[in-house]
Amino acid sequence: MRFVTVVFLAGLLAAGPVAAQQSSAPADAAAATEATTANHKAHKKPAHTPATRLTAQMERDLALSSEQLASVQALNEKSLTALEALRPTEEEIKASRRQQRQILSDRDKELKALLSEQQYAMLVENREKYEKRMRNMQSSGSP
């Protein structure tokens, strides 16, 4: 409860200067709207992109100078944009998975022709046990 009181009081103290600004705001509605818009623009936070978050962390951890900060921000934006361009598209991922399934299917057909019926049955059984074990590990969160 004490925490809530402290937070409430801190909010009131922080609102004090804002309330004073609002009471001295122009009387007509158009001027008041313009003043509010200007106030919001002045307090607008920068976009939270991966590059800005990384730069902010580096600024905190490395105590970057203002010159370094600008250069590091530009470098982070350039590097992360280049990395993003390397990420495969959804269609490329689907095509790759189709190719993988086809390769494994072809291998399975060839293995079936090479192995005896018992060997192939054992291979399928072992594969199913492995897949079940992997599903159980994933659902339990185990490494």
In the predicted model, residues of the chain with pLDDT beneath 70 are 1-46, 142-143
Q: Measured between alpha carbons, how far is residue 10 from residues 68, 92, 134 in Å?
A: 35, 52, 51
The string of pLDDT tens digits covering residues 30-69 is 555 565 555 555 555 557 899 999 999 999 999 999 999 9
Closest CA to 74 of 52, 106, 101, 94: 52
pLDDT of residue 2: 45
Pure H helices in 24-65: 29-42, 50-62
pLDDT of residue 42: 52
pLDDT of residue 5: 41
Average pLDDT of every residue of the chain = 79
